[in-house]
Structure 1
Amino acid sequence: MRVREPAAGSAKDETLRRARFSLLACFLIQGASFALLVTRIPAIQRRYDMGDGTLTAVLSVVPIVAGVGSVIAGALARRFGSRTVLRVSQPIVCATLIGVGAGDGLWQLAVVLFVFGLSLGAVDATMNMQGVAIQARAGRSIMLGFHASYSLGGLAGAGAAGLCAWGGVPLVAMYAGAAALTVPALLVVGPGYLRADDAPAVADPERPRRTLPWRPLIPLCLVMTFAYIGDSTVANWSAVYLEKVLDSSEAFAVVPYIAYMVTTLVGRSVGDLAVRRWGMVEVVRGGAVVAAAGFAVVLAAPHAAVGLLGFVILGVGLCVLVPQTFAAGGRQSPEDADEAVARLNIFNYVGFLIGTPLVGGIADLASFRLAMLVPLFLVLAVLPLARAFAPHGEPAHDR
């Protein structure tokens, strides 16, 4: 989908409002669906009788295959438009979760997760393609709002999964119930997604393909990777860090990640206002500094309460980096915005795959406090990369 100038006229304004509402629902459902999977991993492990090593190998399939799905989505979006790819792939994400709860053999789980991963990558890519296009046509920053909806969905999905676990609801019943709600909802909102009515490949499939250069995207790819290394560190190691390093109780150890998710939601909910006021470059730099401060507080924390404060600060800082990276990629290559977004989305999964073993390996070899230096330095490395977020012809400011 080619990025266009803001639309004018009441009919076009209504189309844009409908597209924005539809995409908010899309992000919400995607966040909830992913949370329903990851928060029930212990139950999935028990159902399929997997050891820790087997579980790690099976779960690694998802981000790897999702990266492939993102590449495929980029090619399909060029030909059919991101709207069509998104409308097809997201119901598959929701429906395949039923297979996770219904299977009883490891090969069945592997097949389901393979399909889930491909669809997940396609949805992650195309919903951000839509977000970039809607923001470009709106003429103001709204990308963080879409990601706030994803965060809200994640909290809702995690809460629903927790209630189902507490109530002893079988996995297959939980996932079937979720699909019964989400799939019809997607069928309702799907027609509202923005049409790729001006994408060259849709109008003329024989049009010679222009090659999108990698070089201008490399700084943004690095920011995406560093942001997800930081995020995966919080998701996978915050509870362990509080228990093993700061001597917290098991019950208190789960609080930091919940607090991180809440502050991420809050930060994204108001982040667009900050971008409109100070510009994309300054918001990215500010987010990097705040995130580094959060890791520093975690690293130096003398007890669990201070560690919790560090993770709260982290949510405020990290929350702006990923949405702004997608937005910058689309604006940097307006003729190939969909392909730029698809490429950037791959590094979402690269950061996830690198972050957990990197921090865990250093913790095993040295200490968890030393391991926290890695994401701290990586988010600081975003500072010199932030100039890549400036519009063409402007050194470091965007309103």
Structure 2
Amino acid sequence: MSYSPRAAIAAAYFAQGCVFLSLTTRLPKFEDHWNISQLGLTLLMLMIVLLAGGGSLLAEKVAPRRGSAVVLRAGLLGMVVALLVSGNAPGTPVLIAGLAIYGLVLGMVDATTNMQAVSLEHQVRRTVLPSFHGAWTAGGIAGTLITLALPHASIAALSSGMALLPLLVAFARFLPGSGSAPSPEAAEGIPWRPILVVGAACVIFYTVDTASTTWGSVYFDDTLQAPSGLVALATLPYLVASLGARIAGDRLTDSLGATRLLRGGAVIAIVGLLIVVCAPNWPVGVLGFLVLGGGIAVVAPLSYSAAATLARAGGTLDPELTIARTDAVIARFNQFNYVGALVGSVLTGAIGTGSLRIGYAVPILLVIALVPLAAAFGKQRLAAAA
């Protein structure tokens, strides 16, 4: 396997994370610039999440036939359009249109980057998903730092400049994918029940992750009374800790096993959420998000890896059809991402309308469930389910 496709996949993750976090860390600016209430922001996030689910379904239909690289490039180019439209919107209707485009292409890019990553992981036959998701986190850190470094830059300037990143990545060299749809017989052999169990863990992760990255800056601004130029510090420590955990995640998974790694991470994440909820001021909030990121970060990449392993169950299919079937499963599995995002962004914002402390208390109960769910990620359990 040549280095170029691996670098291209990592670059796509990086671009996705950078654009997403540059958007969410600027939500307080959206409130002020377009005079949008917190409820209005919640509804906008709901729209983005729902349309992202539609984009993922579109990827599920198109990628197995045309190749995931084609859909990924289309999504990245669509992201350029979304940034230019929303960032330069003269009013709320155009802003909504731009964010709607972004929601659709968000789902396309989410699904196809994971298709690319699980395909490469299968080829190299070792754990690589955590480090790829680490590239997403690195992009998120970059997007957050841009917001911190340019607190007085206009939304139009930041969005237009950010559009250059997905534009450049769209022309990178990706894995071609299968270009053929899986047969009905192949689809019938997919073990959906164990995939749903793994998907539950994915939902929990994205609930916590989206609550952190979407509402963290608002929580610091409205509840913890952080200085206006430092509200993005809610997201930055979370992302830095997530990056460290994901960089180490490949080796830790191979040495400790996914089950032990997930259980230990769940305990750490619970502690982090408790600190966030009880934080008396923004410096303690920074500590809470730092602990939370280190504990929860590896759940998503290990979930996608487990789903891909289950999708390839049996091993009797033609290699091209195996890739196509795996692409279809990953696109469907990506819907768990948006269920979690729906809970994390919309429910957290809605419940926390009076106080986001209450909104951040909701994910604690969900993270506790990761402790028993971690057993489903063991190699023996995956093999038995397949």
TM-score by length of 1: 0.82
Checking the alignment, whether the CA contact within 8 Å between 1:22 and 1:193 is kept in structure 2 is: yes
The answer as to 2:58 corresponding to 1:72 is yes
Supply the distance in 1 between the matched residues of 2:373 and 2:275 (Cα, whole angstroms). Answer: 24
Supply the distance in 2 between the matched residues of 1:111 and 1:351 (Cα, whole angstroms). Answer: 24
Structure 1: runs of 5+ lacking an equivalent: 1-12
Supply the distance in 2 between the matched residues of 1:172 and 1:247 (Cα, whole angstroms). Answer: 27
Change (3 A) 1:108 1:242: closer
Paired position in structure 2 for 1:173: 157
Supply the distance in 2 between the matched residues of 1:363 and 1:113 (Cα, whole angstroms). Answer: 23
Paired position in structure 2 for 1:9: none
Supply the distance in 2 between the matched residues of 1:293 and 1:372 (Cα, whole angstroms). Answer: 13
The answer as to 2:206 corresponding to 1:210 is no
Checking the alignment, whether the CA contact within 8 Å between 1:44 and 1:101 is kept in structure 2 is: no
1:142 maps to which of 121, 125, 128: 128
The answer as to 2:295 corresponding to 1:317 is yes
The answer as to 2:327 corresponding to 1:338 is yes
Checking the alignment, whether the CA contact within 8 Å between 2:39 and 2:349 is kept in structure 1 is: no
Change (3 A) 1:76 1:377: same
Identity of aligned residues (%): 32
Give 1:120's aligned amino acid: L
Report the alpha carbon displacement of residue 371 of structure 1 after superposing the two structures with TM.
5.3
Checking the alignment, whether the CA contact within 8 Å between 1:29 and 1:150 is kept in structure 2 is: yes
Alignment deviations for residues 130-175 of structure 1 (CA, whole Å, 9 cap, x no partner)? 1111111111111111111111111112222444442x3x433333
Report the alpha carbon displacement of residue 208 of structure 1 after superposing the two structures with TM.
6.1
Supply the distance in 1 between the matched residues of 2:214 and 2:45 (Cα, whole angstroms). Answer: 13
Alignment deviations for residues 272-308 of structure 1 (CA, whole Å, 9 cap, x no partner)? 1101111222222222122122223444556655443
Checking the alignment, whether the CA contact within 8 Å between 1:97 and 1:175 is kept in structure 2 is: yes
Checking the alignment, whether the CA contact within 8 Å between 1:99 and 1:172 is kept in structure 2 is: no
Alignment deviations for residues 304-330 of structure 1 (CA, whole Å, 9 cap, x no partner)? 554433321111111111111111111
Structure 2: runs of 5+ lacking an equivalent: 313-321
Report the alpha carbon displacement of residue 49 of structure 1 after superposing the two structures with TM.
4.5
Alignment deviations for residues 364-385 of structure 1 (CA, whole Å, 9 cap, x no partner)? 68x7666544322211101211
Paired position in structure 2 for 1:284: 262
Change (3 A) 1:101 1:303: closer
Change (3 A) 1:173 1:240: closer
Paired position in structure 2 for 1:111: 97
Give 2:252's aligned amino acid: A
Checking the alignment, whether the CA contact within 8 Å between 1:37 and 1:97 is kept in structure 2 is: no
The answer as to 2:180 corresponding to 1:196 is no
Report the alpha carbon displacement of residue 270 of structure 1 after superposing the two structures with TM.
1.3
Paired position in structure 1 for 2:367: 379
Alignment deviations for residues 224-263 of structure 1 (CA, whole Å, 9 cap, x no partner)? 1111221233335545666777776666665343211111
Supply the distance in 2 between the matched residues of 1:321 and 1:295 (Cα, whole angstroms). Answer: 16
Alignment deviations for residues 22-75 of structure 1 (CA, whole Å, 9 cap, x no partner)? 111111111112223223334444454444444432332111100011011011
- What number of residue pairs does the alignment pair up? 372
The answer as to 2:77 corresponding to 1:91 is yes
Supply the distance in 2 between the matched residues of 1:33 and 1:220 (Cα, whole angstroms). Answer: 27
Change (3 A) 1:357 1:55: closer
